[in-house]
Structure 1
Amino acid sequence: MASPQNVVIVGPTHPHTGGIAQHNTRLAHELLQRGVNTRIESWSAQYPRRSRNGLGELPADKPELPLFPHVVERLKWYSPLSWISLRRRLRNADTSIFAVVTPFHAVPYAPSLIGRVATERVAIVHNVVPHESSRLDRFLMRWMLTRMDRLIVHNEAQAELARGLGVKASCVTVSPLPFPGIGEGSEPTPPPYLTSTGPLRLLFFGMVRHYKGLDHLLEALALTDSVELEVAGHFWEPVDKYQEQIHRLGISDRVQLRDGYVETTEMAAIFARNDVVVLPYRSGTSSIVTDLAFAHLRPVIVTDVGDLSDEIEEAVTGLVVPPLDTRALADAIQKASDRALLSEMSNGVARRPDKSVAEWALYVSCVLRD
């Protein structure tokens, strides 16, 4: 099959924040660089203002990645007319790529998925089933995904979930999620602990949700003597819940909570003042946080869920522990406190080859079905 010459990506881009918007933007640039006419059909209003899905928007003149030149912003979550007009605008596309993030998207995408259309419909599925899902969530995802011509998922576990919803195995392609980049002004610096006599500083970075195990990390932190923790990310749950746990554990003087989306211009400073990044997930699939940590020369401690541990070379670029094993996580934190080991792991991260070019080439090849 010949590669498509006209591609439309349906999903958020700047000024919307977050990893999905960054992924769509980088993908669009990669396609355009390969001579493919590419347009992004983005949202002028993606979620209700009070929705916990919405991370907000950035100033128009402060994009996280270079702006993509061909963007249409007409989709509105509350406007069926905008969903119907999207179907019309997709008529001339060889391939329409739908960014599938939540079951919610089944509704605005529905007019473009009903009946026969000339365009090939491809879903890039970041989560086949939400981490905290209901029967309605599964119904909506099944309806949406079984109407796509192809699915791209980012690991085999997600492929299995898609097949479990009734998607034909021949329609599912697994391609690891490539890192979109960290933007300008994020030069990596060595961990401060290498030249400091102070306590080890841990970083929990990104959106705070139950499945990511911050509560588990706090319990493990309480089993250590002096290790400090910074939490930087958008809280899906009330911050009070974690503040009460911190007070109960007696670690208030060792934990700093920052609730809110972290812009790329702020990342360098946050990673620079911390030594090790921790992903204490109780469940999950994959995370871009590991890539961010490595881009800033930080080793990581991860739990062995999904494909989190796939990129970790034990005691070389990080440490892997079983999920929900508080004692094992505390032991790993104490182990990372050793200056010699931390230095070895930091050097191991610095020696990692840059695989982003090859990863994006493979990913685009899957998208275009070259």
Structure 2
Amino acid sequence: MSRVLVWQWGRRGAGPRFALNLAEAIDSLPGLDVVLSLSARAEILAGDKKVPVRMLPMETYGSLPGLLMRLLQAPVLVPHIMRAVRARRPDFAICAMTGPLDLLMAVALRCSGVPYAVVVHDAVMHPGDGFPLQFMLQRLLLWRADVMVVLSRHVAAQLRQQRVLRGREIVMSSHPPFDYFSGGAGAVVLSAGRVAGPVRFLMFGRLLTYKGLDLLAAALAMMPAGLAFECRIVGHGPESAALRALAGLPHVRVENRWVPESEIPALIAWADVMLLPYREASQSGVGAIALSAGRWVVSTNVGGLREQFQDRSRALLCEPTAVAFCARLVELAERQPLLPEVPADPGEGGWSAVAARMVADIEKALVGRAAMAI
């Protein structure tokens, strides 16, 4: 029986959800046991939510001053983490998504003789994304990692242009559908069919420049007069000219706010079509949620999005122009009735299959590194 430690110490957003789904999938595989380490402040643990895997919660931080304090406490925290790791005796660890405190875990793992892999979601910083030290800390973490896992060939190519590989191979994986709807922890049952009325478009996530807010505003402004549709732009981001332009369009509602984890399933269930008008992207967790719910996806053909959606029957790709994006929206708005389908078994693209391949490839890479060290 091999034991895997999965950790992700973010408080909210996609990181804890990705870690939970990955840990559940690993734990379901024969011959594997898992320990999941999340922030004790993680939104996904709020209330009475039950996590069906062995847990190792860590007290992290709730603000920037709190983060700085935790970093200053590293001489005390690292021995504490080491004791916790050694008590669980993992064979190797996986960082599910990087964060500011990961170097503390990396040091504790190294001192405990536990190798670790890092799932690299983004190799370079998107405009307006994160905080200035985020990618410097990620590169330090990758420099010390035993294995790197990527979810798209696009990110793999970006990593190869950096100096972090140092001769190590990259483990290729993919982004499974986020498990809000198929029976995992906190899953929601989707209703059959849809409410009659205009097609419902949704753009959801962080409202940042690289997400193509200006492209979407221009595309929606081109929609034919009299075409029935509703569009919601929901997420958190700085006020911008593009958001103001979107808010001024007919049939469009902008909701600039943080969306709690508990509201996401209902928000996705409202939509017929998820909009990804991105100007650049590694891959899309929002798109993964939409696919898991049987919703349509309209995406620009940039970065790793082509890999993620090109073989999906309910995903439409287009060039990153307002004219091309508008044409896809019109195509779907005129396709009535536009019924969401019951999500199919994701098969080789589901969490269990992806986790099995990922663990096997990590173990193979670790054996190779051990052989080279002899």
Q: Tell me how far 1:140 sits from its aligned partner.
A: 3.4
Match of 1:19 in 2: 14
Alpha-carbon distance between aligned partners in 1 of 2:254 and 2:17, rounded to the nearest angstrom: 27
Q: Tell me how far 1:251 sits from its aligned partner.
A: 0.9
Alpha-carbon distance between aligned partners in 1 of 2:272 and 2:27, rounded to the nearest angstrom: 38
CA contact (8 A) 2:16 2:38 kept: no
Pair 1:216 & 2:215 matched: yes
CA contact (8 A) 1:215 1:242 kept: yes
Instruction: Look up the equivalent residue of 2:17 and give its one-letter code.
Output: Q
- Listed one character per residue, the Cα deviations across residues 108-129 of structure 1 (whole Å, up to 9, x for unaligned) are 346337x665211211222222
The aligned length equals 338
Question: CA RMSD, aligned part only?
Answer: 3.2
Q: Residue 184 of structure 1: SS of its match in structure 2?
A: coil
Alpha-carbon distance between aligned partners in 1 of 2:311 and 2:357, rounded to the nearest angstrom: 26
Match of 1:9 among 6, 10, 18: 6
Match of 1:173 among 168, 171, 174: 171
Match of 1:205 in 2: 204
Q: Residue 316 of structure 2: SS of its match in structure 1?
A: strand
CA contact (8 A) 1:153 1:159 kept: yes
CA contact (8 A) 2:9 2:60 kept: no
Match of 1:296 among 277, 293, 297: 293
Q: Residue 310 of structure 1: SS of its match in structure 2?
A: helix
Match of 2:122 among 120, 127, 131: 127
- Listed one character per residue, the Cα deviations across residues 220-270 of structure 1 (whole Å, up to 9, x for unaligned) are 11111343211222x1323x65552235xx415532425222434x34433
Match of 1:38 among 15, 20, 34: 34
Q: Which structure 2 residues correspond to residues 97-116 of structure 1 after superposition, within 5 A?
A: 97-102=94-99, 104-105=100-101, 107-109=103-105, 111-112=107-108
Q: Which structure 2 residues correspond to residues 1-370 of structure 1 after superposition, within 5 A?
A: 5-12=2-9, 16-33=11-28, 34-44=30-40, 59-62=46-49, 66-76=51-61, 77=67, 78-79=69-70, 80=74, 81-91=76-86, 92-102=89-99, 104-105=100-101, 107-109=103-105, 111-112=107-108, 117-132=112-127, 138-166=135-163, 167-182=165-180, 183-192=186-195, 195-196=196-197, 199-224=198-223, 225=225, 226=227, 227-233=229-235, 235-238=236-239, 241-246=241-246, 250-251=248-249, 253-264=251-262, 266-312=263-309, 316-323=313-320, 325-340=321-336, 343=338, 346=339, 350=342, 353-355=345-347, 356=350, 357-369=352-364
Alpha-carbon distance between aligned partners in 1 of 2:24 and 2:311, rounded to the nearest angstrom: 35
Q: Tell me how far 1:154 sits from its aligned partner.
A: 0.8
Alpha-carbon distance between aligned partners in 2 of 1:164 and 1:116, rounded to the nearest angstrom: 30
Q: Tell me how far 1:217 sits from its aligned partner.
A: 0.9
- Listed one character per residue, the Cα deviations across residues 132-174 of structure 1 (whole Å, up to 9, x for unaligned) are 3798655433322121111111111212222222213533211
Distance 1:309 1:359, change over 3 A: same
Please, what TM-score do these two structures have when normalized by structure 2? Answer: 0.77
Distance 1:27 1:352, change over 3 A: closer
Alpha-carbon distance between aligned partners in 1 of 2:46 and 2:312, rounded to the nearest angstrom: 41
Q: Tell me how far 1:316 sits from its aligned partner.
A: 4.4
CA contact (8 A) 1:23 1:180 kept: yes
Distance 1:209 1:188, change over 3 A: farther
CA contact (8 A) 2:121 2:151 kept: yes
Q: Tell me how far 1:338 sits from its aligned partner.
A: 1.3
Please, what TM-score do these two structures have when normalized by structure 1? Answer: 0.78
Instruction: Look up the equivalent residue of 1:61 and give its one-letter code.
Output: D
Distance 1:165 1:135, change over 3 A: farther
Instruction: Look up the equivalent residue of 1:232 and give its one-letter code.
Output: V
Alpha-carbon distance between aligned partners in 2 of 1:135 and 1:273, rounded to the nearest angstrom: 36
Alpha-carbon distance between aligned partners in 2 of 1:175 and 1:333, rounded to the nearest angstrom: 30
Identity %: 22
